[in-house]
A and B are shown apart, each in its own frame.
Chain A
Amino acid sequence: MANSLAVQISSHILSTKGILPSQTWLAAFLSTQKPNLPFQSLSQTALFRLLASEITSSVQPTSDNTFPSSIHDVHATNLQLKGPIAVQIVDIEDIGHSKLSQLEALEAAERGEKTKGKEVIRVVPGEEDDTDPDNLGLTGVGGPHKLTLDDANGSRVYAFEFKPINGVSIGMNIGTKLVLRDVRVARGVLMLQPANTTLVGGKVEELHKKWREERKGKLKAAIEAAKENNE
């Protein structure tokens, strides 16, 4: 019985989101749920948990929904991935702006300041015009971004936001799940755009927290490295 419920949920999530849950993970999930819950709410909870979990533990890898072994071939300038492939974001970088400008914005935000044109304004958290509630030093227009993605095998690749994708920005949840279809890969780098990328959502709390804690240090390290390069 439980087994067929798992199959039902699994196929529901696959058909609606393009993500195939791992049967082991799903069984473990179902064992913690009360019996006789309606299917609808069970499958919704399952999806929510799946999106909030580490992709390698919750998504069932198959040859179609993961990267091929040739993914890292730096000589392949034009590889096509059919997908759908489920991935999660493990890192994001804004490569349209200098690291120093990002660090300055971040430090100003930590002091509770924001620059609006020439005016320095004090931001009270939660106020209406507080568009940066997490104090990440967001200045409005960002990007394009370079992403680091993991598939269900834990295979890690770079991706470039070739055309702006709604929802991709500094400040987005780390651990967000994406589903990719018909993606071009140039020397191991995925070229993402709205037509081939679906943001399913989610967040992996530990990854997210770690990313936030490390961001400032990483920006500083990159600036230090630039300084040494200049010398």
Chain B
Amino acid sequence: MVSTMVQKVLCVAEKSSVAKAVAGHLSGGRFTTRNTTNKYIKNYDFEYRFSQWNSCQVTMTAVQGHTEELDFTDRFRKWSDCDPFELFDAPVNKTIDKSKQSIADNIQREARGATILFIWTDCDREGEYIGTEVRSFARRGNASIQIRRAQFSNIERTHIIRAANNPKDLDERQALAVAARMELDLRIGAALTRFQSLRLQGRYGLTPDALISYGSCQFPTLGFVVDRYMRVKNFVPETFWYLKLVHTRDDITTTFNWDRSRLFDRMTVVLLFESCLASPGALVKSVTRKPARKYKPLPLTTVELQKQGSRFLGMNSQRVMKAAEALYTSGFISYPRTETDQYDQNIDLKALIVKQKDDTGGWGWGAYAGNLLNGEFEQPRRGKHNDKAHPPIHPVAYAAGSALSDGDQRKVYEFVVRHFLACCSKDALGETTTVSLEYGDEGFHASGLTVIERNYLEVYPWDRWESSQLLPQYREGERFVPTEVTMQDGKTTAPGFLTEPELIALMDANGIGTDATMAEHIDKIQVREYVFSVPKNSRGSAGAAAAGRGSGRGRGRGRGAKATTGSTRGGGNSGGNNVFVPSNLGVALVEAYDLIASDMSLSKPFLRKEMELNMKKICNGELSKEHVIHQSLEQYREVYMKVSQRIETFRQVCSRYIQS
């Protein structure tokens, strides 16, 4: 007789909170909890009837991000034992940190009695890779275990149940891309960190053990900050001249702007001014009324959330992401790491709006959501990006203000919901009136805006669009004598130091980091004291001369491998309205690399951008992991050699900026 023994399914999530939430949804809250030898990890047991596997005994557990670490073999670990150059091709191996061994052991043990390993790591590149780690631990316990993967983008109940009943396969290519990135970050980061630290330690006021870390994302990020800083420092105001025409009619004084805006040549403006004055009057060339439209926002991506968080909510990107992660884990919003700014055709947006319409938690958008359902709804705009993994960030469940303990979470939740409702609204509509004049041979114009329908602006207070002062009546073809025409001058003004939204936009446009890692890179260059975050209005001067604390090998991120939670340093610099100024060391490093390696400079985005593009090619199957690693290592090796050949120049630049 065929045995009817129930099969066991081992589920593994990327973090404990997700494991617990998923276990709760699948079991209807009826699970038993077992401790493991790791105090952060619990095993949740319950029964569940999968549509594809029937009734199963389920154990749900978790890892904590990455479990394994990639490192050089022993002979190459000590700084004193090898030339940093050797690290470009020194052997590497995977190890498990002592504190994490219990996590791997737990999976190995639980896999023994299971027939299926069902992987529930987050659905992104990093998650695919962590899934392959989980797979290798499980196979150590049970070589013939079947491997499946859950595909989900939020932790709302029905979504989780659908994912449980539609298992997929791990995406090997995405995992390979992460493996390539990890190896490159390790080799390049370690080689250059050791190189620049060893060459500069004990000089220019740096301590003998100063760590001057290098990271292939960190440096271009630093480069953007230094570039702007130098532009501000080198700025020279220049004088420009312009014409201004003022006319008073019906008690309304209107300023007409010069079509040429401004010119940087006084003589020319004087001549044009004279020819105006020689003319008997101004002619109204046209009066045009045009419908005007203020577009509602695009569906929310991570990069936009980070930029707006800084601009509107007064939080830096790291804090915004921390709050968003917590909201996701609690099942209130969808996965907050996404590049997608278009909604899938078959997503039921109205069902999501319904959840917000009985707002009893005091947010104040209930009636607005109700109106959307009563005919005001309009399909969201479609952006150009689709990462094919996650939808735009949107609310998946209603949360009353009191259900969110944390002020940051409340702010981010409110922003996500209002943004979502705005996306499902109509654009704001208005009308602009433009009066164009000819005076002498010069053109002038004035415009007025009347807002007719506010629409999405009602729920989205962060966008401003107000009616301007009304223009008096002008008729096409009429002539009038201006009340006043003057020639004015002004001076160009320096750009401001780089703000966080600007930095994120630069990183995004130049392919530095991914939406998920940008905040970490920005944090890293502050921890390293290459840049400081200072309040907007302080005239920042390059601050501390020395930076020599911290530890680590200066490599890119490995999720969960180290403490990655937002480190909030010093008073007030976790706010969103600060600007970045580089330290002397930061300026020195950028200048030195620019001088020596010019277009291959490590502070420029080009090399890293190419690496990111190659990661995508691994994911598409266009390039192999080995090819990508080889190509990038060759490029960085070349820069390394250039810089080591010209180490004296390197030191000279440093001594210029960082005198002790």
Contacts and interface: CB of A to CB of B under 8 A. Distances in A.
Interface of A: 77-78, 93, 95-100, 104, 111-113, 117-120, 122, 144, 146, 158, 160, 162, 186-187, 189, 223, 226-227, 229-230
B271 A187 contact: yes
Contact of A77 (B236, B278, B605): B278
A189 to B, nearest CB: 6
B267 A100 contact: no
6 contacts: A98-B240, A111-B599, A122-B599, A226-B237, A227-B236, A230-B237
A186 B263 contact: no
Contact of B238 (A112, A120, A186, A226): A226
B238 A98 contact: yes
Nearest to A116: B509
A93 B263 CA distance: 12
| Chain A interface SS verdict (over half) | mixed
Interface in B263-285: 263-265, 267-268, 271, 274-275, 278
Contacts of A119: 509-510
Nearest to B241: A95
Given A98-B240, A100-B238, A119-B509, A146 B268 contact: yes
Interface string B474-493: 00000000000000000010
Contacts of B263: 95-96, 144
B468 interface: no
Interface string B124-157: 0000000000000000000000000000000000
Contacts of A111: 598-599
A74 B195 CA distance: 66
B40 interface: no
A77 B260 contact: no
Given A77-B275, A112-B599, A158-B267, 9 more contacts: A77-B278, A95-B263, A96-B260, A111-B598, A111-B599, A118-B510, A119-B510, A122-B599, A186-B274
Interface size on B, as a range, is 20 to 34
Interface in B509-560: 509-510
Nearest to B265: A95
B640 to A, nearest CB: 20
A104 B231 contact: yes
B495 to A, nearest CB: 11
A160 B238 contact: no
A103 B338 CA distance: 39
Nearest to B220: A120
B652 interface: no
B360 interface: no
Contacts of B264: 95-99
B419 to A, nearest CB: 22
Contacts of B265: 93, 95, 146
Interface in B621-660: none
Interface in B6-28: none
Given A111-B598, A122-B606, A95 B268 contact: yes
B410 interface: no
B236 A100 contact: yes
B471 interface: no
Contact of A144 (B260, B267, B508, B599): B260
Contacts of B606: 122
Contact of B267 (A189, A223, A226, A230): A189
B6 to A, nearest CB: 56
A157 to B, nearest CB: 12
B252 interface: no
Nearest to A146: B265
B268 A118 contact: no
A77 B240 CA distance: 23
Interface string B221-236: 0000000000100011
B344 interface: no
Contact of A189 (B271, B506, B604): B271
A175 to B, nearest CB: 23
A120 B274 contact: no
B376 interface: no
B239 interface: yes
B505 interface: yes
B358 interface: no
A133 to B, nearest CB: 17
Nearest to A118: B509
Nearest to A227: B236
Contacts of B605: 120
Interface in B586-606: 598-599, 604-606
Nearest to B506: A118
A186 B236 contact: no
B236 A230 contact: yes
Contacts of A227: 236
